[in-house]
Amino acid sequence: MGHSAGAHLAALVTLDPRYFAATGLSTPAIAGVVGLSGPYDFLPLREADVQDMFGPPQNYPDSQPINFVRSDAPPMLLVHGLKDDTVRPKNSVNLAAALTSRGVPVTLKLYPKLGHSDTVASLAVLARGRAPTLDEIAAFVKQPRPDQAALAAAGAGIS
């Protein structure tokens, strides 16, 4: 689970097997991913500092979680505010469509009145009225997964 850059990293590490392969570790059994206001499909890069962060240019596609969607990806919950002008909502919409096209279970929640930080702020007691983000996450986590028995057997500790 992550918000903004944290959502990007959670999705990228989950979808791109090279990260675990580079460490010599096998890919862990990930039961699901929760992404709040995440950048998953943000090319072209226009800002110089962002270009530098993800460069050189031939590496830009490797920074995009959407480029690594595969049919065996775990289910995902993507939450985004439609008033987000930091990370455009199309990031979550496009990732959800790519996951769906490959048969991956995905839940996309778009909130018309929320901006970028509202999706994570609504987890705090004082801001829970902004959006039902906490309830959405709880419902997602409680959903039975078809591979739940295999994950538990592998020591993932899911009950």
Q: What gap in Å lies between CA 123 and CA 127, rounded to an integer?
A: 7
**Which CATH number does the domain housing residue 117 bear?**
3.40.50.1820
As a three-state string, the secondary structure of 5-68 is HHHHHHHHHHHCCHHHHHHCCCCCCCCCEEEECCCCCCCCCCCHHHHHHHCCHHHHHHHCHHHH
Q: What is the rounded radius of gyration, in angstroms, for the C-alpha atoms of the chain?
A: 16
In a domain, 44, yes or no: yes
Please check whether residue 156 is in contact with residue 74, taking contact to mean a CB–CB distance below 8 angstroms. Answer: no
- Look at residue 74 and tell me if it is in a domain: yes
**Is 139 within the bounds of a domain?**
yes
106 DSSP 8-state letter: E
**Sign of CA pseudo-dihedral 95, 29, 139, 116:** negative
For 107, phi and psi rounded to 5 degrees?
-115, 120
Task: Say what the pLDDT of residue 73 is.
Answer: 95
Q: Which domain holds residue 44?
A: 2-22+32-147
Task: Specify the residue for token string 């995009």.
Answer: 64
Q: What is the pLDDT of residue 145?
A: 75
Q: What is the pLDDT of residues 50-108, one digit of tens each?
A: 899 998 999 999 999 999 999 999 999 999 999 999 999 999 999 999 999 999 999 99
> In this structure, is residue 154 part of a structural domain?
no
The reply to whether 156 falls in a domain is no
Question: How many domains is the chain partitioned into structurally?
Answer: 1
Q: Are 114 and 131 in contact (CB under 8 A)?
A: yes
pTM: 0.88
First to last CA, the chain: 18
The pLDDT of residue 152: 54
Classify residue 121: in a domain, yes or no: yes
Q: How far apart are alpha carbons 129 and 136 in whole angstroms? A: 13
- Distance, CA of 144 to CA of 31 (rounded, Å): 10
Pairwise CA distance, residues 129 & 126, whole Å? 8
